Amino acid sequence: MITDNHPRDFGHIICFMFKNYFSIVLLLACFSTFAFGAAGDLDPTFGSGGKVFATVAGMEPARGMTLQPDGKVIIVGTVLGQDSTSDFAVVRLNSDGSTDLGFGTNGLVSIPFDNFANEQATAAAVQSDGKIVIGGSVEFGSQGWDFGIVRLESNGALDTAFGKVKVNIGGDDFANDLILQADGKILLTGTIRPTPNTDVPLVRLTTTGALDTSLNGTGKVFVGIGSGNNDVGNSLAVQPDGKILIAGSTRTASRGYFLLLRFTTNGLPDSTLGSFGFIQTEIGAQFDAATSVAIQSDGKIVAGGNSTSGGPEQPAFVRYNTNGSLDTSFDSDGKVLLNPTPSNTVQIKSLMVLSDGKLIGVGTASASYLLLRMTTNGALDPTFGTGGRVLQSVAPSTSDVARAMLQPDGKVVAAGGGSSTTTFGFTAARFVTVSFPRAGPFDLDGDQKTDVAIFRPNGASSEWWWLRSSNGGN
């Protein structure tokens, strides 16, 4: 028996037992790890090294996602239907990133609303009973495109009691986000075109799919900023007091701004935010747009998105006090404009608040997933990735993020599109936000634990025999 007690830079001790018996060498590893992964690394327990790139015949890249309480990942988008038009598409992954073959047909659910009409799913949410609500847009509405909503059973079957719901608000209506209130009611926002310009809508449905008339008397309301502006709602959040936040943009031909709106529980503009229930925020010198909104535990509101001053888009973040004023403790003026990949366009899609108050923005840059982590004062966090940023390719050629969410354990799951040299598909990845033990040098089953292993030298037929640390298999 030889025991090596000398300290190593990888922080472990391995005990070796050598026995020259039938040409067998037994290596017994006494400790299970030799290094630690860093915050911002891919989670090796998800997909292939933390990444998933999959193709479904006729399915376009993902447009939205949500998480189930059991860690399964719901990805939504569009798939080519039997009539050669686009239908709602829903894919479910297991918590380890593998396809959930018990969901729909081999992990895929395709939902047509009308024959020979296009439909696109853009957002999803999971009810407390496990049913899945999907929102998007459908072409054959009463005045053009309408909001479209369906609900699935936990196995992917259509909930026929809910049905296929269409909501007409005014002109062409496109849904960008959907969330659930604490009481299970369904909120949607996006953009509508009642005139030549677009406005921001808010729709609320009851748990049965009917318009909730306690919101503005009709279940729907819309707001226009200025007579010639094009306004878009991109992201929803609900405050603890039930007030509803929408983040998006308002834009003229030459200028665009972050837009934040707040509604009371009955759908009226909340005059305690700004003067009329909305705030416009200028960041760059040309076009700014908020794509995500989150609420901190202290009630402050954070919006993330993009800004351009004539060059490539850059990631931008704003923090507001509860009354809509800029929070000057956030980078001194309430606004942060970053340049993580000079000369390359960056598009932030999701913003999350961690349990310690730090912020993570997730999006796309240089045809890769991009994660940015900021401290509570808006500075890039040097303990995350490289100087506060992570740039990660997920598919062989290109990767882009549609949406990201935070798991209860603090891990970040993102989903979007991707491509190889021959095909397009959807992508997903999971990242850790705290340091974690990496696998030891004799981890032969990939469970991040060192396995008892036996090497049997026999010329070209030499082989490893090993005993799994987790379940005793070999």
Best CA proximity match to 103, nearest among 118, 88, 93, 116:
93
Q: How far apart are the first and last CA of the chain?
A: 24
Tell whether the model's pLDDT for residue 299 goes beyond 80: yes
Q: Which two tokens stand for residue 146?
A: 């309408």
Tell whether the model's pLDDT for residue 25 goes beyond 50: no
Q: According to the model, what pLDDT value does residue 2 have?
A: 26
Tell whether the model's pLDDT for residue 442 goes beyond 90: no
Other C-beta atoms within 10 Å of 383: how many? 14
CA-to-CA distance for 179 and 125, rounded, in angstroms? 6
Q: Name the phi and psi angles at 160, rounded to 5.
A: -70, -20
> Which residue type is seen at 156?
G
pLDDT in tens, 127-157: 999 999 999 999 987 778 999 999 999 999 9
Mean pLDDT of the chain: 88
> Which residue type is seen at 42?
L
Is the Cβ–Cβ distance between 425 and 57 less than 8 Å?
A: no
Largest interatomic CA distance in the chain: 88
CA-to-CA distance for 354 and 126, rounded, in angstroms? 21
Instruction: Give bridge partners of residue 319 from the DSSP assignment.
Output: 302
Low-confidence winner among 18-27, 94-103, 250-259, 406-415 (lowest mean pLDDT): 18-27
Tell whether the model's pLDDT for residue 473 goes beyond 60: no
Tell whether the model's pLDDT for residue 249 goes beyond 70: yes
CA-to-CA distance for 149 and 178, rounded, in angstroms? 9
Spacing of C-alpha 219 from chain mean position: 27
Q: By three-state DSSP, how is residue 141 classified?
A: strand
**DSSP strand pairing (144-152 vs 165-167):** antiparallel
Half-sphere exposure of 386 (CA within 13 A, CB side): 6
